[in-house]
Amino acid sequence: MKRLLITGAAGNLGKLARARLGHMAEVLRLSDIGPMDPAAGPQEEIVQCDLGDEAAVMDLVADCDGILHLGGYSVEGPWKDIQTANITGVYNLYEAARAHGMPRILFASSNHAIGYHTQDKVLTVEDPMKPDGLYGVSKCFGEAMASLYHSKFGQETAIVRIGSCFEKPADRRMLCTWMSPDDFIHLIECTFRVPMLGCPIIWGVSDNDEGWWDTRTARLIGWRARDNSEIFRAEIEAAAPCPPADAPESLYHGGKFTAEPIHK
């Protein structure tokens, strides 16, 4: 494609995407509310932009052929911040996409959209949402926007419910929720390469030995995770004792997020 927009480019996954996705487009347009490294050359465009600014997002999306939407408030926090980035911001993004030829979108949703499901259940994408906080609610909203714009206008989105995408899992729960950076990059490549995408929900998780998500929908885009958190098990288990059986991280998919207050 000619131009791929990456929102949230100053964040953890945005930096990863910037470093690893240059081959996917002639130009990467990199955007964030925060500061970013200068453009490495004509193959990069830097646009500082608040997702909550409707006019700025309209300009940001112009001339883009694909959108990797990573920008947003990425943990539990005050409603105002979540609202601006993840509610107003997602609305602004979808309206801008509609106005500019509906470039395909990968929406970075989260396991916290279903975080209050208990760990004794394996979920399919047909299971109901069960957000574990305001952040999770905002991801449910984003998924609903993707579904609405697909039904009404044919806008294509891969809704990726990311588990925990970090260099390695940080605790025992993440042995179940971990997605390796390599697997995520491959998932993004598949999303933008598959001829027909539609609007599938895909669990963003590696091929871990243990887990709670039925990953079969990944096949719709030709993606198969290759990594497995098991190689980190000994290290993780040695680092910390097993949490009690009634601790949030032992009970719920969303772990400690379920124990967060409503932040003001």
The answer to the question of residue 71 lying near ligand NAI (CB under 6 A) is yes
Least distance in Å: CB of 122 to ligand 15L? 17
Shortest Å distance, C-beta 190 to ligand 15L: 21
Six token digits for residue 55: 């006019």
Part of the chain binding ligand 15L (CB under 6 A), chosen from 50-58, 60-68, 109-117, 182-190: 109-117
CB of 162 to ligand NAI, least distance (A): 3
Q: Which stretches of 95-239 are assigned E, i.e. beta strand?
A: 104-110, 157-162, 164-165, 178-179, 201-204
Sign, Cα dihedral of 174, 175, 176, 179:
positive
Are the CB atoms for 197 and 104 separated by under 8 Å? yes
Choose the stretch contacting ligand NAI; rule: CB under 6 A; options: 4-12, 19-27, 58-66, 146-154: 4-12
Residue length, the chain? Answer: 264
Q: Which amino acid is at 21?
A: L
Q: Which does 103 bind (CB under 5 to 8 A by kind): ligand NAI, ligand 15L, none?
A: none
Shortest separation between residue 143's beta carbon and ligand NAI, angstroms: 12
Whole-angstrom distance, CA of residue 201 vs CA of residue 128: 12
Question: Of 40 and 75, which CB lies nearer to ligand 15L in the complex structure?
Answer: 75
Taking a C-beta distance cutoff of 8 angstroms, is the pair 213, 123 a contact? yes
- What residues line the site for ligand NAI (CB under 6 A)? 8, 10-14, 32-34, 50-52, 70-74, 84-85, 89, 108, 110, 162, 164-166
